[in-house]
Amino acid sequence: GTFVAQTVFGLARNYASARTIGVPIRFIPISPLNPFWTLVDRAVLSFIRRLPGPLGRNSFTRYNWRGWEVADRYRSHQEMGDIWVLVTPFKNWIYLNDPDALNSLFRRGNDFPRPVFVTGVCCWLENVLELTQDFPFAAILDVFGPNISTAEGQAWKTQRKMAMHSFNEQNNEIVWSESLTLATDMQKYWTSMPSIDTAASDLRTLSLHVLSRAGFGKSFKFESQEDRKTQRPSANSAANYKDSLQTIMENCVLILGLGTSFIAQPWLPKKLRDVHAAYVSFRAYMTSLYEEEKAAYAVGETGEPNLMRSMVRASQADAKDGGGLTEAEIYGNMFVFNFAGHDTTAHSFTFAMYFLAANPEVQEWLHEEIHRVFGDVPVEDWDYRANFPRLKRCLSVLYETIRLYVPVPTIKWTADKAQPLVVGGRTLVLPASSMIAPSYGSVQTDPRFWGPNSLNWDPSRFIVKSAEDGDEELRVPVRGSFHGWSDGARDCPGRKFSHVEFVATMAVLFRSNWRVKPAPKYPDESPEAARSRVLDLIENDSGSVLLLQMLHPERAPLVWEKR
Protein backbone atom coordinates (compact mmCIF):
# COMPACT_ATOMS: atom_id res chain seq x y z
CA GLY A 1 0.00 0.00 0.00
CA THR A 2 2.69 2.46 1.03
CA PHE A 3 4.76 1.55 -2.04
CA VAL A 4 1.85 2.24 -4.40
CA ALA A 5 1.01 5.51 -2.62
CA GLN A 6 4.66 6.61 -2.74
CA THR A 7 4.83 5.73 -6.43
CA VAL A 8 1.67 7.65 -7.31
CA PHE A 9 2.71 10.63 -5.18
CA GLY A 10 6.23 10.61 -6.63
CA LEU A 11 5.01 10.44 -10.22
CA ALA A 12 2.51 13.27 -9.68
CA ARG A 13 5.11 15.49 -7.99
CA ASN A 14 7.71 14.82 -10.67
CA TYR A 15 5.24 15.25 -13.50
CA ALA A 16 4.31 18.69 -12.19
CA SER A 17 8.00 19.59 -12.11
CA ALA A 18 8.74 18.10 -15.57
CA ARG A 19 5.89 20.05 -17.20
CA THR A 20 7.51 23.35 -16.27
CA ILE A 21 10.40 22.58 -18.68
CA GLY A 22 8.10 22.46 -21.71
CA VAL A 23 9.57 19.42 -23.50
CA PRO A 24 8.18 15.95 -24.34
CA ILE A 25 7.54 13.68 -21.37
CA ARG A 26 7.41 9.90 -20.92
CA PHE A 27 6.57 7.96 -17.75
CA ILE A 28 7.88 4.82 -16.18
CA PRO A 29 6.30 3.34 -13.04
CA ILE A 30 9.45 1.96 -11.38
CA SER A 31 12.54 3.98 -10.54
CA PRO A 32 15.61 2.82 -12.51
CA LEU A 33 17.40 3.04 -9.17
CA ASN A 34 15.22 0.37 -7.57
CA PRO A 35 17.58 -2.52 -6.73
CA PHE A 36 15.00 -5.30 -6.78
CA TRP A 37 13.69 -4.22 -10.14
CA THR A 38 17.10 -4.15 -11.79
CA LEU A 39 17.53 -7.81 -10.85
CA VAL A 40 14.41 -8.90 -12.73
CA ASP A 41 13.71 -6.09 -15.23
CA ARG A 42 14.77 -7.90 -18.40
CA ALA A 43 12.98 -11.12 -17.52
CA VAL A 44 9.71 -9.43 -16.51
CA LEU A 45 9.68 -7.10 -19.50
CA SER A 46 10.39 -9.85 -22.03
CA PHE A 47 7.21 -11.48 -20.71
CA ILE A 48 5.13 -8.28 -20.82
CA ARG A 49 6.35 -7.52 -24.35
CA ARG A 50 4.48 -10.60 -25.56
CA LEU A 51 1.14 -9.00 -24.63
CA PRO A 52 -0.88 -7.76 -27.58
CA GLY A 53 -0.87 -4.14 -28.87
CA PRO A 54 -0.14 -1.24 -26.54
CA LEU A 55 -0.15 -3.54 -23.52
CA GLY A 56 3.11 -5.01 -24.75
CA ARG A 57 4.62 -1.91 -26.40
CA ASN A 58 4.74 1.22 -24.29
CA SER A 59 7.14 3.43 -22.32
CA PHE A 60 7.29 0.86 -19.54
CA THR A 61 8.62 -1.89 -21.81
CA ARG A 62 10.79 0.55 -23.73
CA TYR A 63 12.46 2.56 -20.97
CA ASN A 64 12.08 0.70 -17.69
CA TRP A 65 15.20 -1.47 -17.87
CA ARG A 66 18.88 -0.92 -17.29
CA GLY A 67 20.76 -0.47 -20.54
CA TRP A 68 17.89 0.68 -22.76
CA GLU A 69 19.91 3.76 -23.77
CA VAL A 70 22.41 1.71 -25.75
CA ALA A 71 19.78 -0.45 -27.44
CA ASP A 72 17.63 2.58 -28.32
CA ARG A 73 20.53 4.61 -29.77
CA TYR A 74 19.15 7.85 -31.27
CA ARG A 75 15.58 6.69 -31.93
CA SER A 76 13.90 8.39 -28.95
CA HIS A 77 15.65 11.67 -29.69
CA GLN A 78 14.66 11.46 -33.34
CA GLU A 79 11.06 11.05 -32.22
CA MET A 80 11.05 13.69 -29.49
CA GLY A 81 13.86 16.12 -30.25
CA ASP A 82 17.15 16.82 -28.47
CA ILE A 83 15.66 16.99 -24.99
CA TRP A 84 12.92 15.02 -23.27
CA VAL A 85 12.11 13.94 -19.74
CA LEU A 86 11.57 10.51 -18.30
CA VAL A 87 9.36 10.92 -15.22
CA THR A 88 9.96 8.22 -12.61
CA PRO A 89 8.60 7.93 -9.07
CA PHE A 90 11.93 8.96 -7.51
CA LYS A 91 13.59 11.50 -9.84
CA ASN A 92 13.09 13.06 -13.23
CA TRP A 93 15.68 12.03 -15.79
CA ILE A 94 16.35 14.64 -18.47
CA TYR A 95 17.79 13.11 -21.65
CA LEU A 96 19.95 15.47 -23.64
CA ASN A 97 21.29 15.06 -27.18
CA ASP A 98 22.24 18.62 -28.20
CA PRO A 99 26.07 18.87 -28.45
CA ASP A 100 26.18 22.58 -27.51
CA ALA A 101 23.97 22.01 -24.51
CA LEU A 102 26.05 18.99 -23.51
CA ASN A 103 29.19 21.00 -23.82
CA SER A 104 27.81 23.64 -21.55
CA LEU A 105 26.55 20.99 -19.10
CA PHE A 106 30.07 19.59 -18.69
CA ARG A 107 31.75 23.01 -18.51
CA ARG A 108 29.38 24.33 -15.85
CA GLY A 109 30.61 21.90 -13.22
CA ASN A 110 29.34 23.98 -10.30
CA ASP A 111 25.82 24.30 -11.70
CA PHE A 112 25.63 20.66 -12.74
CA PRO A 113 27.64 18.61 -10.26
CA ARG A 114 28.03 14.87 -10.36
CA PRO A 115 25.39 13.30 -8.11
CA VAL A 116 28.06 11.75 -5.92
CA PHE A 117 25.39 9.56 -4.40
CA VAL A 118 25.15 7.79 -7.77
CA THR A 119 28.86 7.80 -8.39
CA GLY A 120 29.45 7.17 -12.06
CA VAL A 121 31.98 4.43 -11.48
CA CYS A 122 29.49 2.06 -9.94
CA CYS A 123 25.90 2.01 -11.08
CA TRP A 124 25.03 -0.43 -8.37
CA LEU A 125 25.52 2.27 -5.81
CA GLU A 126 22.43 3.86 -7.22
CA ASN A 127 20.63 0.85 -5.95
CA VAL A 128 22.12 1.06 -2.53
CA LEU A 129 20.90 4.63 -2.53
CA GLU A 130 17.27 3.75 -2.82
CA LEU A 131 17.54 0.91 -0.39
CA THR A 132 18.81 3.13 2.39
CA GLN A 133 17.93 6.68 1.68
CA ASP A 134 19.27 7.91 5.00
CA PHE A 135 22.63 6.32 4.43
CA PRO A 136 25.67 8.65 4.33
CA PHE A 137 26.09 8.16 0.60
CA ALA A 138 29.55 9.55 0.22
CA ALA A 139 30.76 6.92 2.68
CA ILE A 140 29.91 4.01 0.43
CA LEU A 141 32.81 4.25 -1.98
CA ASP A 142 34.92 5.43 0.91
CA VAL A 143 35.63 1.88 1.99
CA PHE A 144 39.34 2.63 2.12
CA GLY A 145 39.13 6.36 2.76
CA PRO A 146 37.69 9.61 1.33
CA ASN A 147 38.56 10.00 -2.35
CA ILE A 148 38.29 11.98 -5.53
CA SER A 149 35.25 10.12 -6.77
CA THR A 150 33.05 10.87 -3.76
CA ALA A 151 34.48 14.20 -2.62
CA GLU A 152 32.91 17.58 -3.35
CA GLY A 153 33.90 21.22 -2.99
CA GLN A 154 37.30 22.10 -1.56
CA ALA A 155 38.16 18.52 -0.57
CA TRP A 156 37.62 17.41 -4.16
CA LYS A 157 39.77 20.27 -5.49
CA THR A 158 42.71 19.24 -3.32
CA GLN A 159 42.33 15.60 -4.30
CA ARG A 160 41.91 16.41 -7.96
CA LYS A 161 45.08 18.49 -7.91
CA MET A 162 47.02 15.64 -6.35
CA ALA A 163 45.56 13.14 -8.81
CA MET A 164 46.42 15.28 -11.81
CA HIS A 165 49.92 15.63 -10.45
CA SER A 166 50.24 11.83 -10.23
CA PHE A 167 48.84 10.98 -13.67
CA ASN A 168 51.82 12.45 -15.49
CA GLU A 169 53.96 11.58 -18.48
CA GLN A 170 56.52 9.72 -16.40
CA ASN A 171 53.73 7.53 -15.17
CA ASN A 172 52.45 7.03 -18.71
CA GLU A 173 55.89 5.87 -19.69
CA ILE A 174 55.61 3.10 -17.10
CA VAL A 175 52.13 2.24 -18.40
CA TRP A 176 53.66 1.96 -21.86
CA SER A 177 56.54 -0.34 -21.01
CA GLU A 178 54.51 -2.53 -18.67
CA SER A 179 51.75 -2.93 -21.28
CA LEU A 180 54.30 -3.91 -23.94
CA THR A 181 55.75 -6.64 -21.73
CA LEU A 182 52.38 -7.99 -20.63
CA ALA A 183 50.89 -7.92 -24.13
CA THR A 184 53.91 -9.79 -25.50
CA ASP A 185 53.39 -12.57 -22.97
CA MET A 186 49.62 -12.56 -23.48
CA GLN A 187 50.13 -12.96 -27.20
CA LYS A 188 52.59 -15.81 -26.66
CA TYR A 189 49.93 -17.57 -24.66
CA TRP A 190 47.09 -16.81 -27.10
CA THR A 191 49.04 -17.98 -30.12
CA SER A 192 50.06 -21.20 -28.35
CA MET A 193 46.43 -22.27 -27.93
CA PRO A 194 44.17 -23.81 -30.58
CA SER A 195 41.46 -21.34 -29.53
CA ILE A 196 40.86 -18.86 -26.72
CA ASP A 197 37.63 -18.52 -24.78
CA THR A 198 39.28 -16.48 -22.03
CA ALA A 199 40.07 -13.27 -23.95
CA ALA A 200 37.97 -11.16 -21.55
CA SER A 201 39.59 -12.50 -18.40
CA ASP A 202 43.07 -12.38 -19.95
CA LEU A 203 42.55 -8.72 -20.85
CA ARG A 204 41.35 -8.14 -17.31
CA THR A 205 44.58 -9.66 -15.99
CA LEU A 206 46.59 -7.42 -18.28
CA SER A 207 44.76 -4.31 -17.10
CA LEU A 208 45.11 -5.25 -13.42
CA HIS A 209 48.83 -5.90 -13.79
CA VAL A 210 49.40 -2.58 -15.55
CA LEU A 211 47.60 -0.84 -12.70
CA SER A 212 49.64 -2.61 -10.09
CA ARG A 213 52.89 -1.47 -11.71
CA ALA A 214 51.88 2.08 -12.55
CA GLY A 215 49.88 2.46 -9.34
CA PHE A 216 52.12 0.80 -6.76
CA GLY A 217 55.38 0.02 -8.51
CA LYS A 218 54.81 -3.74 -8.30
CA SER A 219 55.33 -5.74 -11.45
CA PHE A 220 53.71 -9.12 -12.16
CA LYS A 221 54.14 -11.38 -15.16
CA PHE A 222 51.13 -12.12 -17.32
CA GLU A 223 49.41 -15.30 -16.22
CA SER A 224 46.68 -17.24 -17.95
CA GLN A 225 43.70 -18.65 -16.10
CA GLU A 226 45.32 -22.09 -16.05
CA ASP A 227 48.50 -20.62 -14.55
CA ARG A 228 46.40 -19.10 -11.84
CA LYS A 229 44.56 -22.31 -11.05
CA THR A 230 47.75 -24.32 -10.67
CA GLN A 231 49.56 -21.80 -8.50
CA ARG A 232 49.67 -22.24 -4.76
CA PRO A 233 48.57 -19.18 -2.79
CA SER A 234 51.77 -17.31 -2.19
CA ALA A 235 53.03 -16.02 1.10
CA ASN A 236 54.61 -13.14 -0.78
CA SER A 237 52.90 -9.88 0.15
CA ALA A 238 53.04 -8.41 -3.36
CA ALA A 239 51.33 -11.45 -4.88
CA ASN A 240 48.80 -11.30 -2.07
CA TYR A 241 48.09 -7.70 -2.92
CA LYS A 242 47.22 -8.64 -6.47
CA ASP A 243 45.02 -11.53 -5.40
CA SER A 244 43.27 -9.47 -2.76
CA LEU A 245 42.68 -6.62 -5.18
CA GLN A 246 41.23 -9.07 -7.66
CA THR A 247 38.92 -10.49 -4.98
CA ILE A 248 37.87 -6.99 -3.97
CA MET A 249 37.14 -6.01 -7.56
CA GLU A 250 35.15 -9.12 -8.24
CA ASN A 251 33.11 -8.65 -5.08
CA CYS A 252 32.88 -4.89 -4.84
CA VAL A 253 29.09 -5.01 -4.96
CA LEU A 254 29.07 -7.09 -1.80
CA ILE A 255 31.62 -4.92 -0.03
CA LEU A 256 30.01 -1.65 -0.98
CA GLY A 257 26.51 -2.92 -0.30
CA LEU A 258 27.07 -4.73 2.98
CA GLY A 259 29.93 -2.73 4.46
CA THR A 260 33.29 -3.98 5.65
CA SER A 261 32.35 -4.43 9.29
CA PHE A 262 29.34 -6.55 8.43
CA ILE A 263 31.27 -8.97 6.24
CA ALA A 264 33.73 -9.55 9.09
CA GLN A 265 31.09 -11.49 11.08
CA PRO A 266 32.40 -14.98 11.89
CA TRP A 267 29.04 -16.68 11.24
CA LEU A 268 28.86 -15.59 7.62
CA PRO A 269 29.57 -17.99 4.71
CA LYS A 270 33.23 -18.57 3.90
CA LYS A 271 33.01 -16.58 0.67
CA LEU A 272 32.13 -13.40 2.54
CA ARG A 273 34.82 -13.98 5.12
CA ASP A 274 37.33 -14.46 2.29
CA VAL A 275 36.25 -11.15 0.82
CA HIS A 276 36.80 -9.54 4.20
CA ALA A 277 40.23 -11.16 4.48
CA ALA A 278 41.09 -9.70 1.07
CA TYR A 279 40.01 -6.26 2.25
CA VAL A 280 42.17 -6.54 5.37
CA SER A 281 45.17 -7.76 3.41
CA PHE A 282 44.84 -5.05 0.75
CA ARG A 283 44.68 -2.42 3.47
CA ALA A 284 47.69 -3.83 5.25
CA TYR A 285 49.62 -3.86 1.99
CA MET A 286 48.77 -0.24 1.28
CA THR A 287 49.77 0.74 4.80
CA SER A 288 53.15 -0.91 4.41
CA LEU A 289 53.73 0.77 1.03
CA TYR A 290 52.71 4.08 2.50
CA GLU A 291 55.10 3.74 5.41
CA GLU A 292 57.92 2.68 3.06
CA GLU A 293 57.25 5.65 0.85
CA LYS A 294 57.16 8.12 3.75
CA ALA A 295 60.42 6.77 5.09
CA ALA A 296 62.04 7.01 1.64
CA TYR A 297 60.81 10.57 1.26
CA ALA A 298 62.22 11.52 4.68
CA VAL A 299 65.73 10.44 3.66
CA GLY A 300 65.44 12.01 0.19
CA GLU A 301 65.38 8.75 -1.81
CA THR A 302 63.99 8.88 -5.33
CA GLY A 303 62.96 6.11 -7.68
CA GLU A 304 60.62 5.14 -10.50
CA PRO A 305 57.41 7.17 -10.21
CA ASN A 306 54.04 5.54 -9.57
CA LEU A 307 50.67 6.92 -8.53
CA MET A 308 51.08 6.04 -4.86
CA ARG A 309 54.60 7.47 -4.69
CA SER A 310 53.60 10.73 -6.38
CA MET A 311 50.65 11.20 -4.06
CA VAL A 312 52.68 10.50 -0.94
CA ARG A 313 55.46 12.85 -2.04
CA ALA A 314 53.17 15.67 -3.05
CA SER A 315 51.25 15.33 0.21
CA GLN A 316 54.37 15.31 2.30
CA ALA A 317 55.63 18.40 0.51
CA ASP A 318 52.29 20.15 0.89
CA ALA A 319 51.87 18.98 4.47
CA LYS A 320 54.49 21.53 5.43
CA ASP A 321 52.14 24.34 4.47
CA GLY A 322 48.99 22.63 5.76
CA GLY A 323 47.68 21.33 2.41
CA GLY A 324 48.15 17.81 1.08
CA LEU A 325 46.22 14.61 1.46
CA THR A 326 45.66 12.72 4.68
CA GLU A 327 46.74 9.11 4.97
CA ALA A 328 43.11 7.96 4.65
CA GLU A 329 42.66 10.05 1.51
CA ILE A 330 45.70 8.43 -0.08
CA TYR A 331 44.27 4.95 0.59
CA GLY A 332 40.88 6.06 -0.65
CA ASN A 333 42.29 7.36 -3.91
CA MET A 334 44.49 4.35 -4.50
CA PHE A 335 41.44 2.19 -4.21
CA VAL A 336 39.37 4.41 -6.49
CA PHE A 337 42.11 4.53 -9.13
CA ASN A 338 42.12 0.76 -9.12
CA PHE A 339 38.35 0.65 -9.09
CA ALA A 340 37.86 3.20 -11.86
CA GLY A 341 40.76 2.07 -14.00
CA HIS A 342 40.39 -1.69 -14.02
CA ASP A 343 37.08 -2.83 -15.50
CA THR A 344 36.60 0.27 -17.66
CA THR A 345 39.77 -0.57 -19.53
CA ALA A 346 39.24 -4.33 -19.51
CA HIS A 347 35.69 -4.14 -20.89
CA SER A 348 36.65 -1.65 -23.63
CA PHE A 349 39.56 -3.91 -24.62
CA THR A 350 37.23 -6.89 -24.86
CA PHE A 351 34.73 -5.09 -27.08
CA ALA A 352 37.61 -3.91 -29.27
CA MET A 353 39.12 -7.39 -29.55
CA TYR A 354 35.82 -8.87 -30.74
CA PHE A 355 35.23 -6.03 -33.19
CA LEU A 356 38.70 -6.63 -34.58
CA ALA A 357 38.10 -10.38 -34.87
CA ALA A 358 35.03 -9.57 -36.97
CA ASN A 359 36.90 -7.01 -39.12
CA PRO A 360 40.10 -8.54 -40.54
CA GLU A 361 40.65 -5.55 -42.84
CA VAL A 362 41.02 -3.30 -39.79
CA GLN A 363 43.71 -5.63 -38.45
CA GLU A 364 45.62 -5.16 -41.72
CA TRP A 365 45.12 -1.41 -41.49
CA LEU A 366 46.61 -1.43 -37.97
CA HIS A 367 49.49 -3.64 -39.05
CA GLU A 368 50.35 -1.16 -41.78
CA GLU A 369 50.59 1.71 -39.31
CA ILE A 370 52.53 -0.28 -36.72
CA HIS A 371 54.96 -1.44 -39.37
CA ARG A 372 55.42 2.13 -40.63
CA VAL A 373 56.20 3.36 -37.11
CA PHE A 374 58.49 0.57 -35.93
CA GLY A 375 59.98 -1.08 -39.00
CA ASP A 376 62.13 -3.88 -37.60
CA VAL A 377 62.86 -2.27 -34.24
CA PRO A 378 62.39 -4.91 -31.50
CA VAL A 379 59.69 -4.26 -28.86
CA GLU A 380 62.32 -3.70 -26.14
CA ASP A 381 63.42 -0.55 -27.98
CA TRP A 382 59.98 0.97 -28.57
CA ASP A 383 59.98 4.46 -27.20
CA TYR A 384 56.92 5.99 -25.56
CA ARG A 385 57.61 9.62 -26.31
CA ALA A 386 58.63 9.11 -29.93
CA ASN A 387 56.29 6.29 -30.94
CA PHE A 388 53.05 6.54 -28.99
CA PRO A 389 51.91 9.83 -30.59
CA ARG A 390 52.30 8.30 -34.06
CA LEU A 391 50.03 5.29 -33.45
CA LYS A 392 46.84 7.13 -34.36
CA ARG A 393 45.08 4.18 -35.97
CA CYS A 394 45.64 2.08 -32.86
CA LEU A 395 44.09 4.82 -30.75
CA SER A 396 41.18 5.26 -33.16
CA VAL A 397 40.14 1.67 -32.44
CA LEU A 398 39.62 2.59 -28.77
CA TYR A 399 37.68 5.76 -29.64
CA GLU A 400 35.45 3.97 -32.09
CA THR A 401 34.76 1.17 -29.63
CA ILE A 402 33.91 3.56 -26.81
CA ARG A 403 31.79 5.67 -29.17
CA LEU A 404 29.47 2.69 -29.59
CA TYR A 405 29.87 1.11 -26.14
CA VAL A 406 30.51 3.71 -23.43
CA PRO A 407 31.51 1.69 -20.39
CA VAL A 408 30.80 4.44 -17.81
CA PRO A 409 27.63 6.47 -18.18
CA THR A 410 28.21 9.97 -16.83
CA ILE A 411 25.28 11.48 -14.97
CA LYS A 412 24.93 15.05 -13.71
CA TRP A 413 22.18 16.75 -11.74
CA THR A 414 20.88 20.17 -10.83
CA ALA A 415 21.25 19.54 -7.05
CA ASP A 416 19.36 22.09 -4.97
CA LYS A 417 18.94 24.87 -7.57
CA ALA A 418 16.99 25.19 -10.83
CA GLN A 419 19.39 25.90 -13.70
CA PRO A 420 18.91 27.57 -17.09
CA LEU A 421 20.30 25.69 -20.09
CA VAL A 422 20.21 26.65 -23.75
CA VAL A 423 19.00 23.70 -25.82
CA GLY A 424 18.64 24.14 -29.57
CA GLY A 425 18.66 27.93 -29.18
CA ARG A 426 15.90 27.91 -26.53
CA THR A 427 16.65 28.77 -22.90
CA LEU A 428 15.01 26.15 -20.70
CA VAL A 429 14.87 26.06 -16.93
CA LEU A 430 15.76 22.66 -15.50
CA PRO A 431 14.17 22.26 -12.05
CA ALA A 432 16.20 21.52 -8.91
CA SER A 433 16.88 17.86 -8.13
CA SER A 434 16.66 16.75 -11.79
CA MET A 435 19.00 14.07 -13.04
CA ILE A 436 20.57 14.87 -16.39
CA ALA A 437 21.65 11.96 -18.53
CA PRO A 438 23.86 12.97 -21.43
CA SER A 439 22.39 10.63 -24.04
CA TYR A 440 25.72 9.01 -24.83
CA GLY A 441 24.03 6.14 -26.67
CA SER A 442 22.39 8.71 -28.91
CA VAL A 443 24.71 11.68 -29.42
CA GLN A 444 27.61 9.34 -30.15
CA THR A 445 25.66 7.59 -32.91
CA ASP A 446 23.40 10.35 -34.24
CA PRO A 447 23.80 10.43 -38.06
CA ARG A 448 23.77 14.25 -37.91
CA PHE A 449 27.23 14.13 -36.31
CA TRP A 450 28.55 10.76 -37.45
CA GLY A 451 27.13 10.24 -40.92
CA PRO A 452 24.78 7.64 -42.35
CA ASN A 453 26.95 4.67 -41.27
CA SER A 454 26.99 5.89 -37.66
CA LEU A 455 25.99 2.51 -36.23
CA ASN A 456 28.84 0.65 -37.93
CA TRP A 457 32.12 0.09 -36.17
CA ASP A 458 34.65 1.82 -38.39
CA PRO A 459 37.75 3.24 -36.64
CA SER A 460 38.89 5.02 -39.80
CA ARG A 461 36.16 7.63 -39.19
CA PHE A 462 38.47 8.98 -36.46
CA ILE A 463 41.40 9.46 -38.83
CA VAL A 464 42.10 12.51 -40.99
CA LYS A 465 45.12 13.51 -43.04
CA SER A 466 46.84 16.60 -41.79
CA ALA A 467 46.71 19.47 -44.28
CA GLU A 468 50.31 20.42 -43.48
CA ASP A 469 52.37 17.28 -43.84
CA GLY A 470 49.88 14.65 -44.97
CA ASP A 471 50.42 12.66 -41.74
CA GLU A 472 47.42 10.99 -40.19
CA GLU A 473 45.79 12.65 -37.21
CA LEU A 474 42.96 11.89 -34.85
CA ARG A 475 39.80 13.61 -36.04
CA VAL A 476 38.24 15.93 -33.48
CA PRO A 477 34.53 15.03 -33.41
CA VAL A 478 31.80 17.70 -33.57
CA ARG A 479 32.17 19.57 -30.27
CA GLY A 480 30.00 17.98 -27.57
CA SER A 481 29.19 14.86 -29.61
CA PHE A 482 31.66 12.52 -27.90
CA HIS A 483 32.22 12.19 -24.17
CA GLY A 484 33.51 8.68 -23.58
CA TRP A 485 35.85 9.90 -20.82
CA SER A 486 33.43 12.60 -19.71
CA ASP A 487 34.41 16.23 -20.02
CA GLY A 488 35.00 19.45 -18.11
CA ALA A 489 36.46 19.72 -14.61
CA ARG A 490 35.30 16.28 -13.56
CA ASP A 491 36.47 14.29 -16.54
CA CYS A 492 38.51 11.11 -16.34
CA PRO A 493 42.03 11.68 -15.01
CA GLY A 494 42.99 8.22 -16.32
CA ARG A 495 42.14 9.04 -19.92
CA LYS A 496 45.66 9.11 -21.27
CA PHE A 497 46.63 6.20 -19.02
CA SER A 498 43.98 4.12 -20.82
CA HIS A 499 45.07 5.42 -24.25
CA VAL A 500 48.66 4.41 -23.65
CA GLU A 501 47.76 0.99 -22.29
CA PHE A 502 45.47 0.29 -25.24
CA VAL A 503 47.79 1.53 -27.96
CA ALA A 504 50.77 -0.41 -26.58
CA THR A 505 48.69 -3.58 -26.44
CA MET A 506 47.39 -3.14 -30.00
CA ALA A 507 50.86 -2.41 -31.30
CA VAL A 508 52.21 -5.65 -29.86
CA LEU A 509 49.28 -7.79 -31.00
CA PHE A 510 49.14 -6.56 -34.61
CA ARG A 511 52.80 -5.90 -35.24
CA SER A 512 53.28 -9.59 -35.82
CA ASN A 513 51.91 -11.72 -38.62
CA TRP A 514 49.33 -13.22 -36.29
CA ARG A 515 45.68 -12.37 -36.98
CA VAL A 516 42.63 -13.06 -34.87
CA LYS A 517 39.34 -14.50 -36.08
CA PRO A 518 36.29 -16.13 -34.56
CA ALA A 519 36.59 -19.90 -34.17
CA PRO A 520 34.01 -21.52 -36.49
CA LYS A 521 30.98 -22.73 -34.60
CA TYR A 522 30.54 -25.81 -36.80
CA PRO A 523 32.97 -27.33 -39.32
CA ASP A 524 31.82 -25.58 -42.49
CA GLU A 525 30.75 -22.22 -41.04
CA SER A 526 31.92 -19.59 -43.53
CA PRO A 527 34.22 -16.79 -42.28
CA GLU A 528 31.46 -14.26 -43.12
CA ALA A 529 28.89 -16.18 -41.08
CA ALA A 530 31.33 -16.39 -38.15
CA ARG A 531 31.99 -12.66 -38.29
CA SER A 532 28.36 -11.68 -38.34
CA ARG A 533 27.75 -14.10 -35.46
CA VAL A 534 30.36 -12.19 -33.43
CA LEU A 535 28.88 -8.81 -34.35
CA ASP A 536 25.52 -10.14 -33.32
CA LEU A 537 26.93 -11.27 -29.97
CA ILE A 538 28.33 -7.79 -29.36
CA GLU A 539 25.09 -6.08 -30.26
CA ASN A 540 22.60 -8.40 -28.61
CA ASP A 541 24.48 -9.88 -25.71
CA SER A 542 25.98 -6.81 -24.01
CA GLY A 543 24.56 -5.24 -20.91
CA SER A 544 25.25 -3.40 -17.68
CA VAL A 545 26.61 -5.49 -14.86
CA LEU A 546 28.79 -3.03 -12.96
CA LEU A 547 29.57 -1.30 -16.23
CA LEU A 548 28.51 -1.91 -19.80
CA GLN A 549 30.20 -5.08 -20.97
CA MET A 550 29.92 -8.12 -23.23
CA LEU A 551 27.96 -10.55 -21.12
CA HIS A 552 29.25 -13.85 -22.56
CA PRO A 553 32.34 -13.29 -24.71
CA GLU A 554 33.38 -16.89 -23.98
CA ARG A 555 30.54 -18.05 -26.24
CA ALA A 556 32.59 -16.95 -29.23
CA PRO A 557 36.12 -18.33 -28.80
CA LEU A 558 38.82 -16.64 -30.86
CA VAL A 559 41.59 -18.20 -32.92
CA TRP A 560 44.98 -16.64 -33.64
CA GLU A 561 46.61 -17.81 -36.85
CA LYS A 562 49.54 -16.79 -39.03
CA ARG A 563 48.64 -14.87 -42.16
Residues of each annotated binding site for heme: 492
d(CA 364, CA 366): 5
Give me the phi and psi of 56, to 5 degrees please: -100, -15
Least distance from ligand HEM to the Cβ atom of residue 346, Å: 9
User: Least distance in Å: CB of 118 to ligand HEM?
Assistant: 8
Between 311 and 492, CB nearer to ligand HEM: 492
Quick one: 313 or 412, whose CB is closer to ligand HEM?
412
Distance CA 200, CA 206 (A): 10
Identify whether the C-beta of residue 462 lies closer than 8 Å to the C-beta of residue 399.
yes
The separation between CA 81 and the C-alpha centre of its own chain, rounded to angstroms, equals 28
Instruction: Give the nearest distance from C-beta 318 to ligand HEM in angstroms.
Output: 18
Please answer whether residues 121 and 143 qualify as being in contact, where contact means their C-beta atoms are separated by less than 8 angstroms: no
Q: Which residues have C-beta within 8 Å of that of residue 58, sequence separation ≥ 6?
A: none
Angle at 512 between CA 508 and CA 517, to 5 degrees: 95
The CA distance from 123 to 150, in Å, is: 14
- Among 291, 311, 286, 313, residue whose Cα is nearest residue 302: 313
Taking CB atoms, the residue at the shortest distance from ligand HEM is 120
Number of residues written out for the chain: 563
3-state secondary structure of 196: strand
Binding site for ligand HEM (CB under 6 A): 114, 120, 148-149, 160, 336-337, 340-341, 344-345, 348, 402, 407-408, 410, 484-486, 490, 492-494, 497-498
In three-state secondary structure terms, 474 is: strand
The number of angstroms, rounded, from the C-alpha of 412 to the middle of its chain's C-alpha atoms is 16
Nearer to ligand HEM by Cβ, of 64 and 207: the residue is 207
Torsion sign (Cα): 533, 535, 536, 542: positive
Q: Shortest Cβ distance from residue 215 to ligand HEM (Å)?
A: 7
Minimum distance of ligand HEM from residue 128's CB (angstroms) = 16
Q: Which is nearer to ligand HEM, 21 or 406 (CB)?
A: 406
SS3 state of residue 197:
coil
Nearer to ligand HEM, 341 or 431 (CB): 341
Nearest to 435 by CA among 417, 414, 416: 414
Least distance (Å) from ligand HEM to the CB of residue 357?
19
In this complex, which beta carbon is closest to ligand HEM, that of residue 341 or of residue 557?
A: 341
Q: How far are the Cα atoms of 114, 148, 164, 175 from residue 489, in angstroms, in the given order?
A: 11, 12, 11, 24
Q: Are 293 and 308 in contact (CB under 8 A)?
A: yes
DSSP assignment letter at 461: G
Instruction: Name which of 158 and 410 has its Cβ closer to ligand HEM.
Output: 410
Q: Quote the least distance from Cβ 307 to ligand HEM, whole Å.
A: 7
CB nearer to ligand HEM: pick between 59 and 103: 103
Known binding-site positions: 492
The least distance separating ligand HEM from the CB of residue 294, rounded to whole angstroms, comes to: 22
